[in-house]
Amino acid sequence: MFSTILVRRLGAAINAERHELGPALAGFALFFCLFSGYFMLRPIRESMGIMAGVENLQWLFTATFVVMLVAVPLFAWLSSRVPRIHFVSWVYGFFCLNLLAFAVLFQMSEENVWLARTFYVWISVYNLFVVSVAWSLMADVFDSQQAKRLFAFIAAGASVGGLVGPAMSALLVGLVGESGLVLLAGVLLGIALALKAPLMRWREVGGAGRPGAVKAEISRKPVAGNPFSGLTRVLQSSYLLAIAAFVVLLATVTTFLYFEQARLVAERFPDRDAQIRVFGIIDVIVQAGALLSQLFITGRIAQKLGVRVLLAIVPLLVGVGFIGLALAPTFAMLAALMIVRRIGEYAFVRPGREMLFAPLDAESKYKAKNFIDTVVYRAGDALSGWVKSFLDLLGQGAVLVALVGAGCALLWGALGWYLGRQADEMSRQDAPEATAVVGP
């Protein structure tokens, strides 16, 4: 009796039906493992970016984009030959081996500049791939109506992981060193891989693969298409092109703030331990704020006001913040704006962005989505990195960067409103069929 009441109350708290509770918790745990591992390594990555030279960051962003151009066709080729039910296993298994290799290299030499640059580029690729694949899995498992109710809670697993990861890094780095943290991240990635199996099993009976669900596709077949079908799929769809433009603007705003953060932290905190501490504190604040928003705000906004509000409100706030930065270009103002942007991205923009893919077919969810999440995102990074360097050469300081950033943020918000309205319309079209299958 007590367990029944507990299940009912927990389901009500996270907007889950009784049969959805287990998969929602599995999704939460999967993201917790991914982000715990990544945020253990993130402070190391940031300090290595500074070690490699703040003036070289645009080159590291460009190198990351080039690596993406090579990796994405291989990723698409693999998805065309491996059934979707096994695809995540191949991708995560490959990255587990990568983490093991880096653990060995860090044990051999931690102060090598080229190792620092390689790790910086690699983890930038790693993070986008493992997160993109995880959200592709979620969009495959849950239909569009379930996504609106459950994606905020599932994304909260990332925020909890983002809180636990930096704490584990601070507690364990003195005991196990950087190589030990990399190895532990590999173990957490392996646990995330194990959580994939129950999600795909449930998909066939209670999720997007159930009989009668919108655009159900057999998960035991590979995704259709060729190694370049992600690109062609995007070029053929105005909806996917709009998502790609949304991601480019997101990357531009993020890069402008990131470069300013790196410059100011390098100036004010020359010691490497102090840099890691500053980055860790910002991460903790961001993840705590994102977690509270995901648990109590995001899902309710998505249900009552729609995806369009999730995707537009944060760019509007960031645009206002850029104007504030132009008026008062201080580290405190920049840190506050970084925190607002990152909380908003994790709590509102990222779940809302993933909701855009829930009504689409498997080729869009895996190939087009991965192309947008990796190549398009890193292209936006690389391009905006060089634009930022050009703006710095003009000698106007943070003021000009802030004004350009404000313009990009406002355009980003307008595009988010348009895309969210499109997704809300598709979700309404899917609702009657979903209701007929799972009941009122």
- Find the range with the poorest average confidence among 13-27, 159-173, 209-223, 376-390: 209-223
Q: Decide which of 3.40.50.2000, 1.10.1060.10, 1.20.1250.20, 3.40.50.2300 is the CATH code for 237-430.
A: 1.20.1250.20
Beta strands in 11-166 (DSSP E): none
pLDDT attached to residue 439: 29
Percentage, residues of the chain above pLDDT 90: 25
pLDDT tens digits along 153-173 = 898 898 889 888 878 887 887
The phi and psi torsions of 394 (rounded to 5 degrees) equal -75, -15
Q: Do 352 and 420 touch, CB atoms closer than 8 A?
A: yes
Q: Tell me, what amino acid is at 146? A: Q
Cα–Cα distance for residue pair 232/424, rounded to 1 Å: 25
pLDDT attached to residue 322: 92
Average pLDDT of the chain is: 82
CB atoms within 10 A of CB 250: 26
pLDDT tens digits along 269-289 = 777 667 767 777 787 788 788
Q: Decide which of 1.10.357.10, 3.30.70.1290, 3.30.1300.10, 1.20.1250.20 is the CATH code for 17-206.
A: 1.20.1250.20
Q: What is the pTM of this model?
A: 0.72
**Over residues 30-55, mean pLDDT:** 80
pLDDT tier at 434, thresholds 50, 70, 90: very low
Q: Where are the domains of the chain?
A: 17-206, 237-430
DSSP line for 384-407: HHHHHHHHHHTT-THHHHHHHHHH
Considering only residues 27 and 54, tell me which one the structure prediction assigns the higher pLDDT. Answer: 27
Q: Do 35 and 153 touch, CB atoms closer than 8 A?
A: no
pLDDT tier at 112, thresholds 50, 70, 90: confident
Q: How far is CA 408 from the centre of its chain?
A: 20
- Find the range with the poorest average confidence among 216-220, 230-234, 395-399: 216-220
Asked if the model's pLDDT at residue 42 lies above 50, the reply is: yes
